[in-house]
Chain A
Amino acid sequence: MIAEALFAPFADFEFMRRALAGCLALALGATPVGVFLLLRRMSLMGDAMAHAILPGAALGYLAFGLSLGAMTVGGIVAGLVVALAAGLVARSSILKEDASLAAFYLLSIATGVMIVSLRGRNLDLLHVLFGSVLALDDASLLLISAISTATLAALALLYRPLVLECFDAAFLRGVSASSPIAHYGFLVLVVLNLVAGFHALGTLMAVGIMILPSAAARLWVKRLPAMLGLAVLIAFISGVGGLLASFHADVPAGPAIILAAGIVYVLSLILAPGGMLGARLDRRPHLES
Chain B
Amino acid sequence: MNTHDAILELDNLTLGYDRHPAIHHLRCRIARGALVAIVGPNGAGKSTLFKALTGELQPLQGHFRVNAGKEGIAYLPQQSELDRSFPVSVFDMVSMGLWREIGAFRGLSRSQAERVRTALAAVGLSGFEARQIGTLSGGQLQRARFARMMLQDANLLLLDEPFNAIDARTIEDLVALILQWHAEGRTILAVLHDLTLVRHHFPETLLLARECVGFGPTDEILTPEHLATARRLAGEFDATAPVCHRPEAEAA
B116–chain A nearest beta-carbon distance, Å: 15
| Interface residues in B65-106 (C-beta closer than 8 Å to A) | 73-75, 77, 81-84, 86-89, 93, 96, 99-100, 103-105
A 190-234 binary contact with B (CB < 8 Å = 1; else 0): 000000000000000000000000000010001110010000000
Report the bound CA distance from A173 to B148 in whole Å: 15
Q: Are A222 and B104 interface neighbours, CB within 8 A? A: no
Is residue B218 contacting chain A, with contact meaning CB distance below 8 A?
Answer: no
Q: Are B87 and A223 interface neighbours, CB within 8 A? A: yes
Q: Are B104 and A161 interface neighbours, CB within 8 A? A: yes
Picked from B82, B88, B99, B152, the residue with its CB within 8 Å of the CB of A224 is B88
Q: Are B132 and A222 interface neighbours, CB within 8 A? A: yes
Is residue B250 contacting chain A, with contact meaning CB distance below 8 A?
Answer: no
Chain B residues with Cβ below 8 Å from A166 are 83, 86
On whether A173 and B88 interact (CB within 8 A), knowing A167-B82, A168-B81, A222-B132, the answer reads no
Q: Are A178 and B100 interface neighbours, CB within 8 A? A: no
Chain B residues with Cβ below 8 Å from A178 are 104
Q: Are B87 and A39 interface neighbours, CB within 8 A? A: yes
On whether A175 and B132 interact (CB within 8 A), knowing A168-B81, A169-B81, the answer reads no
A 169-181 binary contact with B (CB < 8 Å = 1; else 0): 1110111101000
Is residue B54 contacting chain A, with contact meaning CB distance below 8 A?
Answer: yes
Q: Are A175 and B86 interface neighbours, CB within 8 A? A: no
Q: How many A-B residue pairs have CB under 8 A?
A: 60
Chain A residues with Cβ below 8 Å from B225 are none
Picked from B56, B93, B99, B148, the residue with its CB within 8 Å of the CB of A176 is B99
Report the bound CA distance from A247 to B73 in whole Å: 61
Report the bound CA distance from A166 to B84 in whole Å: 10
Q: Are A168 and B87 interface neighbours, CB within 8 A? A: no
Report the bound CA distance from A160 to B132 in whole Å: 17
Report the bound CA distance from A246 to B181 in whole Å: 65
Interface centre among A157, A163, A164, A170 (most CB of B within 10 A): A170
A 137-161 binary contact with B (CB < 8 Å = 1; else 0): 0000000000000000000011011
Report the bound CA distance from A174 to B103 in whole Å: 13
Interface centre among A160, A161, A164, A167 (most CB of B within 10 A): A167
Q: Are B86 and A167 interface neighbours, CB within 8 A? A: yes
Which residue of chain A is the closest to B103 with respect to CB atoms?
A176
Q: Size range of the interface on B?
A: 20 to 34
Report the bound CA distance from A283 to B133 in whole Å: 25
Report the bound CA distance from A163 to B93 in whole Å: 10
Report the bound CA distance from A224 to B82 in whole Å: 17
Report the bound CA distance from A173 to B99 in whole Å: 12
Chain A residues with Cβ below 8 Å from B103 are 176
B103–chain A nearest beta-carbon distance, Å: 8
Report the bound CA distance from A222 to B88 in whole Å: 8
Report the bound CA distance from A161 to B105 in whole Å: 9
Q: Are B81 and A170 interface neighbours, CB within 8 A? A: yes
Chain B residues with Cβ below 8 Å from A224 are 87-88
A75–chain B nearest beta-carbon distance, Å: 30
Q: Are B99 and A39 interface neighbours, CB within 8 A? A: no
Q: Are B100 and A175 interface neighbours, CB within 8 A? A: yes
Q: Are B75 and A174 interface neighbours, CB within 8 A? A: yes
Q: Are A171 and B77 interface neighbours, CB within 8 A? A: yes
Q: Are A174 and B86 interface neighbours, CB within 8 A? A: no
B 203-215 binary contact with A (CB < 8 Å = 1; else 0): 0000000000000
Q: Are B100 and A173 interface neighbours, CB within 8 A? A: no
On whether A175 and B87 interact (CB within 8 A), knowing A160-B104, A160-B105, A170-B81, the answer reads no
Picked from B77, B93, B100, B148, the residue with its CB within 8 Å of the CB of A170 is B77
Report the bound CA distance from A219 to B7 in whole Å: 49
Report the bound CA distance from A171 to B105 in whole Å: 17
B125–chain A nearest beta-carbon distance, Å: 15
| Interface residues in A214-268 (C-beta closer than 8 Å to B) | 218, 222-224, 227
On whether A167 and B83 interact (CB within 8 A), knowing A174-B54, A222-B132, A223-B89, the answer reads yes
A88–chain B nearest beta-carbon distance, Å: 17
Chain B residues with Cβ below 8 Å from A164 are 96
Q: A167-B82, A171-B148 are in contact. List 4 more A-B contacts (CB 8 A).
A: A164-B96, A167-B84, A167-B133, A174-B73
Some 27 contacts from A to B, beta carbons below 8 A apart, are A39-B86, A39-B87, A157-B104, A157-B105, A160-B105, A163-B86, A163-B88, A167-B83, A167-B84, A167-B86, A167-B88, A169-B81, A170-B77, A171-B75, A171-B148, A173-B56, A174-B54, A174-B74, A174-B77, A175-B99, A175-B152, A176-B99, A176-B103, A176-B104, A222-B87, A223-B132, A224-B87
> Interface on A for B, CB 8 Å cutoff?
39, 157-158, 160-161, 163-164, 166-171, 173-176, 178, 218, 222-224, 227
Shortest 10 CB-CB contacts between residues of A and residues of B: A167-B86, A170-B77, A175-B99, A174-B75, A170-B81, A167-B83, A168-B82, A224-B87, A160-B104, A161-B104
> Interface on B for A, CB 8 Å cutoff?
54, 56, 73-75, 77, 81-84, 86-89, 93, 96, 99-100, 103-105, 132-133, 148, 152
